[in-house]
A = this chain, B = another copy of it.
Amino acid sequence: MTAAAPLASLSPADLAAFRAQKQADYDALCARGLALDLTRGKPSSAQLDLSDGLLSLPTSTTDRSGADVRNYGGLEGLAELREIFAELLWVEPEQVVCGGNSSLTMMHQTIVDLLLWGGPGSERPWKDEPALKFVCPVPGYDRHFSMLADFGIEMVTVPMNADGPDVEAVRALVADDPSVKGLWIVPTYANPSGAVCSREVATELMSMPTAAPDFRVFWDNAYAFHHLTEDEAKSADALAIASGCGHPDRPLLFASTSKMTFAGAGVAVMAMSAANKAWFLKHLAMASIGPDKINHLRHVEFFGDADGVRAHMRRHRDIIAPKFEAVDAALTTGLGGLGIAEWSKPTGGYFVNLDVLDGTATRIIQLAKQAGIALTPAGASFPHGDDPRDRNIRLAPTFPPLEQVETAMAGVATCVALAAAESLS
């Protein structure tokens, strides 16, 4: 294969010929009557099968302290499960709370608590502040943004770079404006870019002066253990860094087993300073007598220890890494050298970030839909679904079988090329 010429360099006649060829390719694509879905970051059936051992666990009904896990109590979660997470997240077991089936729920609870009561360091409940803003690196996770929108919290964007949020942009926002209360980040294999926040950037985020005395970094480490290669990223140990900077209460860590075991029936976890934990549990005690300790023990028996988690995640990698390779191969084959798209080559996580020619993302997703290929709506990775350049597309290749990923991505490449040709014509 010879490298294609950049599309923008073609003569009008060559561009017309290219467009006609892509239109023909696209018509052939539509004629196949596909029904493929790359919209959501969901584990595949083969991945879920890895955890079917959970279905007949636990074999015991007491934890190591002798407490009956079938009964009420144990608000902070099973000690043995907290230890496993502590080792995986490089924190101390006493900093950890294990909850229900969703870290998103724990993030929501945390913001509710801050709104209604304020947290350690707050001058008042956040609901009583004249304005509330969060710094949102973009592209980012749509559910973070929709949650903030529902709370009426204004979102201010900064670029998400390859090593984390643009530190100078963040610094300029937080330094003088006390209404900037938080920043949300997926630090490891970010959704959707796959970026990994470096230790240097993490240190800047934890140490920079903020006008708000109760500024919080929501450190959503959803993909901390979700490596796609042997080159396993190590998340910056945000709690220790923050403590060392004199801001122990700034970071709130979240993670879960949703993409390790069963997506809807896993265990969520938080890690935080002693003051934050006491505060969080005080309000949690009003809403819960304790988490599902049976499910905690089920996961402890299933994993055994932190190494058991790591081994389990390598089995996930074996299933999904070829799908990410298929995405890259299809985009390289269909778009390489054309100068109309860039895409990430993540070494972990659940997404590929595809940036196309400005102004063509909406058109591409429409073309794909007509061809039976469902993609995440344009702008999904931006607050309020508004991508100012209309160029960002989030690809989620984990759920469909490999051959469907190959088929769908070849089709996506056709749509990208056709939309670019239309735009340049």
Q: Residues of A at under 8 Å CB distance from B?
A: 40, 42-43, 45, 48, 51-52, 55-59, 61, 68-74, 100-102, 104-105, 108-109, 112, 115-116, 127, 143, 146-147, 150-151, 258, 262-265, 283, 286-295
Q: Is A292 a contact partner of B70 (Cβ separation < 8 A)? A: no
Q: A56-B56, A104-B289 are in contact. Are A72 and B294 (CB under 8 A)?
A: no
- Contacts A55-B58, A61-B52, A292-B101 given; does A262 touch B70 at CB 8 Å: yes
A72, A109, A112, A291 — most chain B CB neighbours (10 Å): A72
The answer to whether B293 touches A70, judged by C-beta atoms less than 8 angstroms apart, is no
CB distance from A185 to the nearest CB of B (A): 19
Q: Indicate the member of A258, A286, A288 with the most B CB atoms within 10 Å.
A: A286
Q: Please determine whether A71 and B100 come into contact, CB atoms closer than 8 angstroms.
A: no
Measured between beta carbons, the chain B residues less than 8 angstroms from A151 are 116
Q: Closest Cβ of chain B: how far from A318's Cβ, in Å?
A: 19
The interface residues of chain B lying within 8 Å CB-to-CB of A288 are 102, 104-105, 108
**Residue pair A291, B101 in contact (C-beta under 8 Å):** yes
Q: Is the CB of A264 within 8 A of B286?
A: no
Query: When the two chains form their complex, are residues A264 and B287 in contact, meaning their CB atoms are under 8 A apart?
Result: no
Closest to A45 in B: B68
Measured in the bound complex, the distance between the Cα atoms of B61 and A263 in whole Å is 13
CA distance A43 to B72 in the complex (A): 9
Minimum Cβ distance to chain B for residue A396 (Å): 12
User: Is the beta-carbon distance between B112 and A69 smaller than 8 angstroms?
Assistant: no
Expressed in whole angstroms, the Cα–Cα distance for A68 and B51 within the complex equals 13
Chain B residue, CB-CB nearest to A128: B127
Q: Which residues of B contact A286 (CB under 8 A)?
A: 108, 143, 146-147, 150
Chain B residues with CB under 8 Å of A102's CB are 287-289
Contacts of A52 in B (CB 8 A): 61
8 pairs, CB–CB < 8 Å, chain A vs chain B = A55-B294, A72-B263, A100-B100, A102-B287, A108-B288, A112-B116, A264-B293, A295-B295
Let me know if A264 and B74 touch, CB within 8 A: yes
Contact of A127 (CB < 8 Å), options: B48, B101, B105, B127: B127
**Within 8 Å CB of A293, what residues of B?**
264-265
- The distance from the CB of A103 to the nearest CB of chain B, in whole angstroms, is 10
A264 CA to B98 CA, complexed, in Å: 14
Contacts of A74 in B (CB 8 A): 264
- Report the minimum CB–CB distance from A53 to chain B (whole Å): 12
Q: Kindly name the residue among A48, A151, A292 whose own CB sees the greatest number of chain B CB atoms within 10 A.
A: A292
Q: Would A265 and B292 be within 8 Å (CB), given that A55-B58, A55-B61 are in contact?
A: yes
In the bound complex, residues from chain B placing their C-beta under 8 Å from that of A40 are 72
Bound complex: CA A27 to CA B196 (Å): 68
Residues of B within 8 A of A105 (CB): 287-288
Given contacts A101-B292, A147-B287, A265-B294, 5 further A-B contacts (CB under 8 A): A40-B72, A45-B68, A69-B264, A146-B286, A147-B286
Residues of B within 8 A of A147 (CB): 286-287
Chain B residue, CB-CB nearest to A127: B127
- Which of A101, A109, A151 counts the most B-chain CB atoms under 10 A from its CB? A101
Q: Which residue in B59, B68, B283, B292 is a CB contact (below 8 Å) of A150?
A: B283
